[in-house]
Amino acid sequence: DTEVTQTPKHLVMGMTNKKSLKCEQHMGHRAMYWYKQKAKKPPELMFVYSYEKLSINESVPSRFSPECPNSSLLNLHLHALQPEDSALYLCASSQEPGDRQPQHFGDGTRLSIL
Amino acid sequence: AQSVTQLDSHVSVSEGTPVLLRCNYSSSYSPSLFWYVQHPNKGLQLLLKYTSAATLVKGINGFEAEFKKSETSFHLTKPSAHMSDAAEYFCVVSDGSGGYNKLIFGAGTRLAVHP
């Protein structure tokens, strides 16, 4: 069982749809992350939140919009996605921004764009 | 800049035989190193971590890794493979130089375990 919970597990959407991915952790971690993972590749960092504020955006297209409503929740809002955005989206958290401790990952949302 | 190289993209072993997954790193300072495992349709699970304490690190499920500074290596081993060990394994170094906990991933090693 993972301590980082992601919903939904699977999502199929059309290119004109708007949907959101949700991530929740109750470990008191103050840093949270979104990653994108394509098949047979390592995860690629998208966004970093430190103390509920966006601190890093790795040049992600604006059709991906992150949000951190509180210290336990992280959302990723999706709009007008492209077929190449189909991937596994992983959320992770770590105790403090800037430390070098491991990140804890959720099981991800498998996203398919039609 | 920090980097990680996993020397084998695929490793195949028989059940009950030893596992060796090789990882070399490059770091300008004392690194924090991790091994993660990813089973199909799952997230990444932390197997073990090295953060400048003991050089031989024991992890979950019988895995261990040895940090060798002179060889810049952090190889993952297990004495006896189990069918459930079949998965993708990532060697990772943590780079905190940018003010946040950036993970640098190796390309991954796919472990197959045969009966």
Q: pLDDT band at residue A25, thresholds of 50, 70 and 90?
A: very high
B96 touches chain A (CB under 8 A): yes
Q: Which 5-24 residues of chain B touch chain A by CB within 8 A?
A: none
The answer to whether the Cβ–Cβ distance between B49 and A104 falls below 8 Å is no
The answer to whether the Cβ–Cβ distance between A97 and B100 falls below 8 Å is yes
Surface-to-core class of residue A21, CB atoms within 10 Å of its CB (0-12 exposed, 13-18 middle, 19+ buried): buried
- pLDDT per residue over B55-112, tens digit each? 999 999 999 999 999 999 999 999 999 999 999 999 999 887 777 888 999 999 999 9
pLDDT at B89: 98
Q: HSE on the CB side for B92, CA within 13 Å?
A: 29
- pLDDT per residue over A61-86, tens digit each? 999 999 999 999 999 999 999 999 99
pLDDT at A2: 63
pLDDT at B99: 74
Across the range B30-41, mean pLDDT stands at: 93
pLDDT at A97: 84
Q: What is the β-pairing status of strands B44-50 and B56-58?
A: unpaired
Min Cα distance B32 → chain A (Å) is 6
Percent of chain A topping pLDDT 70: 98
Across the range A18-24, mean pLDDT stands at: 97
The answer to whether the Cβ–Cβ distance between B94 and A101 falls below 8 Å is yes
The per-residue DSSP string of B5-56 comes to EES-SEEEEETTS-EEE-EEEE-SSPPEEEEEEE-TT--EEEEEEESSS-SE
Contacts of B49 in chain A (CB under 8 A): 101-102
B104 touches chain A (CB under 8 A): no
Q: pLDDT band at residue A1, thresholds of 50, 70 and 90?
A: low
Contacts of B60 in chain A (CB under 8 A): none
Surface-to-core class of residue A91, CB atoms within 10 Å of its CB (0-12 exposed, 13-18 middle, 19+ buried): buried
Residue with tokens 């949700």: A22
Q: Which residue of B has its CA nearest to A56?
A: B100
The answer to whether the Cβ–Cβ distance between A50 and B94 falls below 8 Å is no
Phi, psi values for residue A98, rounded to 5°: 85, -10
Across the range B34-59, mean pLDDT stands at: 93
In angstroms, the CA B46 to CA B37 distance is 7
Is A32 within 8 Å of A92 (Cβ atoms)? Answer: yes
The answer to whether the Cβ–Cβ distance between A55 and B99 falls below 8 Å is yes
Q: pLDDT band at residue A34, thresholds of 50, 70 and 90?
A: very high
Q: Which residue of B has its CA nearest to A46?
A: B102
| Residue burial B32-55, b: 16+ Cβ < 10 Å; e: rest | bbbbbbbeeebbbbbbbbbbeeee
